[in-house]
Structure 1
């Protein structure tokens, strides 16, 4: 049943929920994440389910577009967000919650142009080190341990944002350093044996948040660990805080996945092995994540011997 939003005078069906319910199950979760991200930009702590989408207007959609582009999100991601917002607006119109003029103005927001194949970047080793140092700046030890584990898991296992927030405690075996991603894209399960430094960070965090089912939980301002899992919007906020503390160039959560793939390729890992670790169906997709520098390419070609 679509979620309902209760107002002072009547109960209104949430057009965001109606639109999501009309999607195929395989795409619903990712689109919900995009709506969560959009809602959080418009109002602190807002979600796809809590936000009043009937009040969506041109200025809101334009603000979301500009914010995502400024934060370095891929062209394809920004345009997918715009398509989702336009779909929700159309649903609001169909439900009688939005007039034709407001809908037309929202649909007039243009997509972002650019080469989606070269979107995003891989972080340098120095940037990752600065981010790890930034995790130590928080006054609460629980935040330090969680944020370090999050950062190293993203860089050291190549998880998508949605995959990370869906992890449960049972998905990580401390003894074997084996991380099982049960809710991968397309519902494909994969297994990654993480490096010792990643494994140590996860083990330290797991000990600190004992008793919770979710692997990465929200933390109160007081420093106490809750039993509530992170959202993708919450994860983006954590990484943004670390980026500002570390004073490095902006990056997206997905850039840490690009970092994982690029580092493996730099170390000589076989492209097909990297594909499997990243959970890609097509090896050509993995190749798009390759952000090795021009110097690396020059060295490879100049070192060729016959």
Structure 2
């Protein structure tokens, strides 16, 4: 190396975290959350470098979140995952088993479920693309982000099914395509195709692709099949690639539309788009559908997760008849 050539600088710690996350192909949301937790951990300990700290400092930070911060168990677990990733994947340090962490209590809440009449009332008050998306959530049991990220190629009208790609736990699954929505969805996709063709003319038809398809099919990003079914109304800059393109619809817009519809019905339950997924499972159980099939449709890894819906079926507490009613 020539004498006047400066030595390459070591990336800052948070940049190292970002780079490692991208090598592991984690989502942009995971990247944002992990970087945030690493930053909070460092600031909590007076800006000390993580290499100068260890299991004791991690335990102190996580316990602080539970005791002083009163965070939910899921939030504390996310912070733990971020710090374990920092030490193992970025710094190459294996932390001893964390035995002294004060764990946040995981609440045992029953899911909020709407009756069939309440679902009908809510859906009837939604309009346009939000009505179609809410109908899909209730009619298929998809999660909110699974619906928002749905691609054109995964809606199979001929087989009357929807393929859910890379769901929770990085698992694919198949769910039904409700016939009540098929016609409306086809008409909507015709309008969506016109928007895609306009984007092609503007040279901005490319969409985000997961790493493996992007490498295997270099032209797929501009193909119709890979387009988001529910696109954003404007272009945005990808924070990783810097490319300007059309992303999927912001899920907060559907959440607000659902909230407005629920308030308009006078329903007092705290119903959200995810409530439609809970209602899907519960109503199938009430109709006698077997729990294993519902487990597969929902994409649950463990049937015990699906069993929660047996406790909220419309048959009274645990299906037991009160002696007063006898």
> TM > 0.5 between the two?
yes
SS at match of 1:13: helix
SS at match of 2:126: helix
SS at match of 1:218: strand
What CA distance in whole angstroms lies between the structure 1 residues aligned with 2:166 and 2:85?
A: 28
Which residue of 2 is the match for residue 270 of structure 1?
290
Residues 179, 90 of structure 1: alpha-carbon distance in 2 compared, 3 angstrom cutoff: closer
Which residue of 1 is the match for residue 217 of structure 2?
none
Which residue of 2 is the match for residue 217 of structure 1?
231
Q: CA deviation at 1:261?
A: 0.8
Kindly tell me the number of residue pairs found equivalent between the two proteins: 236
Q: CA deviation at 1:170?
A: 0.3
Contact 2:258 2:273 in 1 (8 A): no
Which residue of 1 is the match for residue 214 of structure 2?
none
Contact 1:190 1:277 in 2 (8 A): yes
Contact 1:15 1:54 in 2 (8 A): no
Contact 1:15 1:88 in 2 (8 A): no
Match for 2:119 among 123, 128, 137?
A: 128
Q: CA deviation at 1:214?
A: 1.0
- Whether 2:150 is the aligned partner of 1:149: answer no
Residues 19, 288 of structure 1: alpha-carbon distance in 2 compared, 3 angstrom cutoff: farther
Q: CA deviation at 1:111?
A: 3.0
What CA distance in whole angstroms lies between the structure 2 residues aligned with 1:127 and 1:208?
A: 30
Match for 1:196 among 176, 179, 182?
A: 179
| Stretch of structure 1 that moved more, 254-263 or 273-282 | 273-282
Residues 254, 20 of structure 1: alpha-carbon distance in 2 compared, 3 angstrom cutoff: farther
Alignment of 1:153-172 (within 5 A): 153-172=136-155
Residues 276, 245 of structure 1: alpha-carbon distance in 2 compared, 3 angstrom cutoff: closer
Larger Rg: 2
Q: CA deviation at 1:297?
A: 5.8
Which residue of 2 is the match for residue 173 of structure 1?
156
Match for 1:238 among 254, 262, 272?
A: 254
- Can you list the C-alpha shifts for 1:10-40, whole angstroms capped at 9, x where unaligned? 97735873685698x7xx55xx65x58xxxx
What CA distance in whole angstroms lies between the structure 1 residues aligned with 2:16 and 2:117?
A: 45
Which residue of 2 is the match for residue 228 of structure 1?
247
TM-score using structure 2 length: 0.56
SS at match of 1:114: coil
What CA distance in whole angstroms lies between the structure 2 residues aligned with 1:284 and 1:148?
A: 31
Q: CA deviation at 1:301?
A: 11
SS at match of 2:246: strand
What CA distance in whole angstroms lies between the structure 2 residues aligned with 1:79 and 1:251?
A: 22
Gaps of 5+ in 2: 1-10, 45-64, 91-100, 197-223, 236-244
What CA distance in whole angstroms lies between the structure 2 residues aligned with 1:272 and 1:114?
A: 25
What CA distance in whole angstroms lies between the structure 1 residues aligned with 2:74 and 2:37?
A: 20
- Can you list the C-alpha shifts for 1:249-273, whole angstroms capped at 9, x where unaligned? 3234433221111111111112222
Q: CA deviation at 1:149?
A: 1.9
Which residue of 2 is the match for residue 293 of structure 1?
314
Residues 245, 192 of structure 1: alpha-carbon distance in 2 compared, 3 angstrom cutoff: closer
TM-score using structure 1 length: 0.59
Residues 278, 13 of structure 1: alpha-carbon distance in 2 compared, 3 angstrom cutoff: same
Which residue of 2 is the match for residue 80 of structure 1?
74
What CA distance in whole angstroms lies between the structure 1 residues aligned with 2:133 and 2:279?
A: 14
Gaps of 5+ in 1: 1-9, 37-46, 70-77, 96-107, 137-143
Q: CA deviation at 1:171?
A: 0.3
- Whether 2:117 is the aligned partner of 1:111: answer no
